[in-house]
Structure 1
Amino acid sequence: MEIRQIKDNEKALVQDLRDYSFTSVYKGEKLEDFQYWLENSHVLGGFIEGELAGQVFIFPLNMTLRNQNHAMGGIGFVATDPIFRNRGVMKQLMIASLVQMRENKQVISVLAPYSVSFYRYFGWELFNDILHFEIQEKQFPQTARNQDVVKRMSFQKVDSTILKEVQEFHNRYAEKTEGCMKRTSAWWSRIIKRQLDGHIAVFYESNRVAGYIRYDIRDLCFTIHDYYSENYSVEEAIWRYVFSHASSIDKVRGVVSIEQRFMLSFAEPQIKQQRKQETMLRIVDVYAFFTQLTLPKDISFYIQVLDTFAPWNEGVFHIHKGSVEKVIIKPPTRILTISIQHLASLVAGYETIEQLLYRQCVQVDGEIISEINQLFPKSNCFFNEYF
């Protein structure tokens, strides 16, 4: 088997394998978008006897984690030709993707798993709960009249000024929100091309953007795909806007951060809700990741990382006086021993050290638990992107 980057004259093979492996064939705007990312991502192929047996895209993305925006490799369009199944194609591609992301200085990686257990094996772990909700017509609240400042933009007719304002707001929001991704113009182009019947409603306070929703209306359903607000008054304005469509819809669906409690303001707050885990995180380069963090100067302990598929992560790291150092000798005390996937869960704040200890996922000296919690307090990431 040969694992390498796809050549220009092989890109049609990548598109054919994607179309065969997934449920739809890309045409029109979606095909144009796919071809853009085929050109601008790092695409690895696995070849057997000269034939493309499998492929992995590495998107050049980013994500905010522990108050720092990091370069992130988004894994997408993972596919193996059924002819070559059970020959280790995807295993070799996943290992190669880790090497490539490290070379790209992408210190973390995110993917949407078709199988959680498969990607856990390679070091990714769930880190992000999101809330899917549905509000039936009989639950629509009565909203007070108010002179909200709202602008609407259709993706069929993009207003460049509004889109720029939304992009700038989103990126300011993403810089201070755990798990959030700053969106480039190319990523907004991708969103628009994949949702041509979509709209954006933008909410203003004091002549500046203070929130927005991205949505579409189909089959009497108002579906919210993005929901971002910087304060409660904007949330109220959002729901006044949504329910102003009551005469033409019979339900509202959407996805929001698990921390959102907008329904508590409704007279009937017991709407349908479902908590889902749809994305997984991996630390690609432990040392590089820690050097990018602002580490407390009053903590000192060791982390022994176990990582089968990224040998550069194997070893002991000393967190000490605001810095990190990889050491040769394993100390007898003040040490946390943790696998790479559980480190991702801990770093993201998805699980605390106490929860991991309870599930027997780590070994840790009790005297450093408070310092670990100081470094990685409980948090709720919100990652709402699709590759």
Structure 2
Amino acid sequence: MRIRQLTKEEAAERVALSEFAFQLELTEQQREERKTRFRPEEQWGAFDDEGKMLSALHLAPLEIYIGQRSLKMGGVAGVATWPEARRHGCVAKLLAHALEVMRGQGQTVSMLHPFSFPFYRKYGWEMTIERKQYEIESKQLPAIEGFAGQVVRIPKEASALNGVYERFARRYTGMLKRSEEWWEQRALSKPGLAALYRNGDGTPEGYILYDVRNRLMTVHEWAALTEEARRGLWSFVANHDSMADKIAMTVPVDDATSFWFADPRFKQEIIPYFMSRIVDAAGFVAQYPFLPGSADEALTITLIDRHAPWNNGTFRLEWDRDGTARMQQTERQSAGAGIACDIQTLTALLLGNRRPEQMARWGRLQGDGEAVSVLERRVPSLTPYLADFF
């Protein structure tokens, strides 16, 4: 089996594989559009000795926000295998190769949307992002007051929305840093309209991307930077009561709409959504926004990673007072505080907002109480969220 990048000439076969694997029914125009957007440098395939494509995946060079910082991220998508090649280790080899490629490209973290959570957990990815989904009857919407600005419908253009989006995205762990191309081809490609909230001074503080049809208002995306913007956007939604009997929307898990509403008994679901994986632990730790402390601190961490050998071993993790951290492999367990965990647990701690003390209680983090306390002090509470799909 050989792993290599695809060529431009293999675009049609790659599209056909995706159509089959994901049971897509593309029109000829959609196939041509996919071929036009095909970037062979982002596509990797597993081939047999005769050069036949067995499996493929898309490795997208993206960036995500973590605690106000943007980090390079390898987005794994479109993982597909022809049925005659399944259960022959093709995807396992592709994923192992992708980890090496991401490390070489400085992508210290990876994310993907799994067809199966257990499958990708075997290779070091962990569930980090959940989303909350609402279904609200229009009659449950309260009268909204207390805002001085207004909501106006605007053309669906990235330039009008990205400023609000970036300020909103930086509040969460896992939100994409969107390019103009991503806005046009992804975020704004869904049917419907856009509306912007401007405060009393005319400053944009929120927006909504939505569609209304068949008595249902679907909110594709929602961002409110202030309490005033939140009230203004909900008032705008309520003004569609003559057109829609229900509102469906997806929000971060920390959204408190049910508390704000007089009648909180509407349908709410927490949906497991995306998985993440630390690709290069030392590189990731050096960029991560740890909290400052009263003094320099350190601990020893024994990390288990069966698919990325550079992460597998014992490391000394050190923090400066200002939160700057470094992680270096060491020959042996040094004196002082120490912990042990696998790469999934470390990913959940730093990207999934699973607290160290919580993970220790669950048996996912082993170590003495002093080491767990150091982590508890240094790891910030960051709510994971992703508004996009890839």
Aligned to 1:7: 7
Classify the secondary structure of the residue corresponding to 1:96.
helix
Q: Using a 3 Å threshold, how does the CA distance of structure 1 residues 338 and 213 change in structure 2: closer, same or farther? A: same
Which moves more between the two structures, 312-321 or 204-213? 312-321
Aligned to 1:112: 113
- In 2, distance between residues paired with 1:366 and 1:127? 25
Q: CA deviation at 1:40?
A: 7.1
Classify the secondary structure of the residue corresponding to 2:387.
coil
- In 2, distance between residues paired with 1:2 and 1:37? 25
Q: Using a 3 Å threshold, how does the CA distance of structure 1 residues 19 and 349 change in structure 2: closer, same or farther? A: closer
Aligned to 1:312: 310
The answer (yes or no) to whether the contact 1:229–1:235 under 8 Å persists in 2 is: yes
Gaps of 5+ in 2: none
TM-score, length of structure 2 as denominator length: 0.91
- The one-letter code matched in structure 2 to 1:311 is P
Aligned to 1:152: 153
Q: Using a 3 Å threshold, how does the CA distance of structure 1 residues 294 and 244 change in structure 2: closer, same or farther? A: closer
Classify the secondary structure of the residue corresponding to 1:238.
helix
Q: CA deviation at 1:373?
A: 0.8
Q: Using a 3 Å threshold, how does the CA distance of structure 1 residues 61 and 33 change in structure 2: closer, same or farther? A: farther
- In 2, distance between residues paired with 1:276 and 1:53? 32
Q: Using a 3 Å threshold, how does the CA distance of structure 1 residues 146 and 342 change in structure 2: closer, same or farther? A: closer
- In 1, distance between residues paired with 2:33 and 2:252? 27
5 Å matches for 1:1-387? 1-27=1-27, 31=31, 34-35=34-35, 37-39=37-39, 42-48=42-48, 49-144=50-145, 148-153=149-154, 158=156, 160=157, 163-191=158-186, 194-195=189-190, 197-205=191-199, 206-295=201-290, 296=292, 298-322=296-320, 323-324=325-326, 325-387=328-390
Gaps of 5+ in 1: none
For residues 304-337 of structure 1, the C-alpha deviation after alignment (integer angstroms, 9 at most, x for no partner) is: 2110001111122222242313322222541111
- The one-letter code matched in structure 2 to 1:13 is E
- The one-letter code matched in structure 2 to 1:229 is A
Tell me the C-alpha RMSD between the 2 structures. Answer: 2.1
Classify the secondary structure of the residue corresponding to 1:131.
strand
- In 1, distance between residues paired with 2:41 and 2:187? 19
Which moves more between the two structures, 321-330 or 123-132? 321-330
- In 2, distance between residues paired with 1:126 and 1:100? 22
Q: Using a 3 Å threshold, how does the CA distance of structure 1 residues 172 and 192 change in structure 2: closer, same or farther? A: closer
The answer (yes or no) to whether the contact 2:131–2:270 under 8 Å persists in 1 is: yes
Q: CA deviation at 1:137?
A: 3.2
Give runs of ≥4 in structure 1 deviating > 3 Å: 26-37, 142-148, 294-297
Q: Percent identity?
A: 28
Q: Using a 3 Å threshold, how does the CA distance of structure 1 residues 331 and 164 change in structure 2: closer, same or farther? A: same
Q: CA deviation at 1:262?
A: 2.0
The answer (yes or no) to whether the contact 2:205–2:229 under 8 Å persists in 1 is: yes
- In 1, distance between residues paired with 2:159 and 2:41? 24
Classify the secondary structure of the residue corresponding to 2:87.
coil
The answer (yes or no) to whether the contact 2:130–2:385 under 8 Å persists in 1 is: yes
Aligned residues: 380
- In 2, distance between residues paired with 1:200 and 1:219? 19
- The one-letter code matched in structure 1 to 2:315 is F
Q: CA deviation at 1:193?
A: 6.4
The answer (yes or no) to whether the contact 1:128–1:350 under 8 Å persists in 2 is: no
Classify the secondary structure of the residue corresponding to 1:246.
coil
Q: CA deviation at 1:229?
A: 0.7
The answer (yes or no) to whether the contact 2:175–2:387 under 8 Å persists in 1 is: yes
The answer (yes or no) to whether the contact 2:67–2:171 under 8 Å persists in 1 is: no
- In 2, distance between residues paired with 1:103 and 1:138? 54
- The one-letter code matched in structure 2 to 1:337 is A
- In 1, distance between residues paired with 2:64 and 2:29? 26
- In 2, distance between residues paired with 1:130 and 1:112? 13
Q: CA deviation at 1:246?
A: 0.7
Which moves more between the two structures, 235-244 or 218-227? 218-227
The answer (yes or no) to whether the contact 1:333–1:365 under 8 Å persists in 2 is: no
Q: CA deviation at 1:142?
A: 3.2
Q: CA deviation at 1:29?
A: 7.6
TM-score, length of structure 1 as denominator length: 0.92
